[in-house]
Structure 1
Amino acid sequence: MALQVYGIKNCNTVKKALTWLDDNNIAYRFHDYKKEPATSEQLTAWEKKVSWESLVNKKGTTWRKLNPEEQAAVVDANSANAVLLRNNSMIKRPLIESPKGIILGFDEEEYQDKLK
């Protein structure tokens, strides 16, 4: 079964993850947020497996471009999802749906443990 990888092609972290998957001959399907945005249903499903806080990438430029009032308004899953649906690039990348759960970001040790 192929993994489902969500992200943006030009993101450096996504590039590292895809290279690692290719180098380790792990099959995956790539979902580009720029071509097909994440849906409310996907966010809700992911939040059953990981916290809404972990989905919000507060280190990225998209988060930093929000004004302080917008940032302060992100206080729960509903408010986070509203912002994430308007700004898919703020979803932590890559997001990988694997048989062992959701994996966020790129961590080679975690990939070794959960994907091999």
Structure 2
Amino acid sequence: MEVFGLKNCDTCRKAMKALPEATLVDVRKDGVPQALLKDALEQFGDQLINTRSTTWRGLDSAEREAPPLELLAAHPALMKRPLIRAGGRLSLGWSPEIEAQVRFAV
């Protein structure tokens, strides 16, 4: 099980505490595989981009118009977190429902 996020993100910390068997992949340091981003974009669409983030607010309008995969490649912190890959399934965000899905997938 892999949790794609940021080590200093509170939501990612909650997920890691609840999932001690998971490996945290820091998206700023390690990046996210392009194939995984494609799969996540197909599954979650616009929800994959966190438009409430500080990174998003720092982009100008031209940058915001870039294709989502280019945006995420250039600014990995734009991805909503955590993105969890468990048992061949992807989950986005963290809630009791997602925790149950992830535990069931393993």
Provide TM-score, normalisation by structure 2: 0.84
Q: Deviations over 1:10-63 (max 9, x none)?
A: 0111011111223xxxx2122111221123222113234x13312111111111
Match of 1:53 among 36, 46, 50: 46
Q: Which moved more, 1:33-42 or 1:9-18?
A: 33-42
**Count of residues in correspondence between the two structures:** 104
The RMSD of aligned alpha carbons is 1.8
| Bigger radius of gyration among the two | 1
Q: Does 1:82 align with 2:55?
A: no
Question: Structure 2: 5+ residue runs without aligned partners?
Answer: none
**Partner of 2:24: helix, strand, or coil?**
strand
Q: Does 1:35 align with 2:33?
A: no
1:7: which partner in 2?
5
Match of 1:44 among 35, 38, 47: 38
Whether the 8 Å contact between 1:58 and 1:64 is mirrored in structure 2 is: yes
Amino acid in structure 2 at the alignment position of 1:102: L
Question: Structure 1: 5+ residue runs without aligned partners?
Answer: none
Runs of 4+ in 1 over 3 A off after TM superposition: none
Structure 1 residue 100 displacement after superposition: 6.5
Whether the 8 Å contact between 1:7 and 1:32 is mirrored in structure 2 is: yes
In 2, the alpha carbon distance for the partners of 1:113 and 1:104 equals: 11
